Copies of this chain bind each other. A is one copy, B any other.
Amino acid sequence: MTGNMLIAQSGGPSMVINQSLVGAILAAKGSDKIVEIYGALHGIQGIFDEAFINLRAEPDEVLLRVAQTPSSALGSVRRKPTADDCRAIFEILARRNIRYFFYIGGNDSAETANIIAEEAERQGYEMCCFHIPKTIDNDLLGNDHTPGYGSAGRFVACAVRGDDLDNRALGGVKIDVIMGRNAGFLTAAAGLARQDPDDGPHLVYVPERTFTVDGFVNDVAQCMERYGRCVVAVSEGIRGADGRAIAESFSTETDAHGNVQLTSGALGENLAAVIRERLKIKRVRADTFGFIQRCFVGITSESDATEARRVGEEAVKAAVSGEYRSGTIAILRQPGEDYEISYAVKPLATVAKHTRELPDEYINAEGNNVTEAFLAYARPIVGALPETARFNQLRA
């Protein structure tokens, strides 16, 4: 099948989503099945508006520089289309002779691609719809991990490593609030900051375990007793026994989906206030890493960049092979000590609709830290951190 290609980016940006975009463009340029290569601006919004750019016109040297640039170069959107929207999108694609459609994003994007693929099927229009995975949350099912996670995790690990050194110098309690509404993978990456047994983060709280203020205060008190200081990594999405996000009690701002905006600093500030009051500790500080953890310039994980490029290429190769009507590219890991990755085409339904959480074996029994199994899993994804050291006489 020969025809035009359309590609778009969706959801929260990442440091490597442009690697996937450029991987797909370069693969498309190498295929005789693809005529025009269009990029839609701001995801499906750009399809509705027919705001397309001609990606074939961009020189390779520009493509390569865009690839290493964080955030979504085509622009993004936070809009989950209805079934009606998807039909309207299909009409535009058909009119433009789009035969290859690629949507880079999380599980919502896979669902969108799926609905469009079904509509094409129903109307007897030959088209290939592929999802290309991206999410710093690392919450796609059927994947060992997802592009974007390694680099955001690297930001978190580097920030917490530095923050632990800072806390070591000045003492007290430091609370770092990290992105992750439902999945604790990104917060868990803070654990990679540790080198020595007395290094922070001393406590790691994720949404997969019930958070209680009493338990938290008790954990911090024990940590102060043991280390004389305490560094805490906590997911913005931690939940109480009633299943509601703890942050919701402190913030009322909502995002485009009507979800309470968790990136506000209120969660950290309020947890700090609790510790100050109940443990009478004078120096208690909180930082909320916020949006900079997903697009920071200069901290990309090398394996993440390589894999992100590759899933873009693999999606186009699979599409033009003629073997699939639709699909997503999954990253699989070979068992064993060495870090070996393979790529597989899977049905869109694998990743659409549902999300993955941190597996039980990655969280300790107390529910207040990550396990060595998690660290072994995440280390090659995030990459080795820059070397830091203490004086021999000051090591525990």
Contact = CB atoms under 8 A, between A and B. Distances in A.
Interface of A: 9, 12-13, 15, 39, 41-42, 53-55, 57-59, 62, 65-66, 68-78, 158-159, 161-163, 165-166, 168-170, 174, 176, 256, 263-266, 268-269, 282-283, 285-292, 294-299, 385-394
B388 A65 contact: yes
12 contacts: A13-B165, A54-B393, A62-B392, A69-B388, A71-B166, A71-B168, A73-B394, A74-B391, A76-B170, A159-B297, A264-B286, A265-B265
A244 to B, nearest CB: 21
Nearest to A64: B389
Given A76-B169, A169-B13, A170-B13, A298 B386 contact: yes
The interface centre, meaning the residue of A158, A170, A264 with most chain B CB atoms within 10 A of its CB, is A170
Contacts of A269: 264-266
Nearest to A284: B253
Contact of A285 (B68, B78, B291, B385): B291
User: Taking each of A166, A269, A394, which has the highest tally of chain B beta carbons within 10 Å of its own beta carbon?
Assistant: A166
A292 B159 contact: yes
Contacts of A291: 163, 166, 174, 285, 287
Contact of A394 (B53, B65, B264): B53
Contacts of A285: 263, 290-291
Contacts of A54: 393
Contacts of A297: 158-159, 161-162, 165, 385-386, 388
Given A282-B256, A291-B285, A292-B289, A70 B389 contact: no
Contacts of A166: 13, 70-71, 291, 294-295
Nearest to A59: B392
A298 B388 CA distance: 10
B162 A296 contact: yes
Contact of A292 (B9, B78, B287): B287
A12 B167 CA distance: 10
Contacts of A39: 391
Contacts of A394: 41, 53, 73
**A75, A161, A264, A292 — most chain B CB neighbours (10 Å):** A292
Contacts of A42: 169
A176 to B, nearest CB: 8
A14 to B, nearest CB: 10
A390 B72 contact: no
A297 B57 CA distance: 39
Contacts of A393: 53-54, 57-58
Interface hub of A268, A387, A389 (most chain B Cβ within 10 A): A389
A385 B292 contact: no
Contacts of A286: 264, 290
B13 A391 contact: no
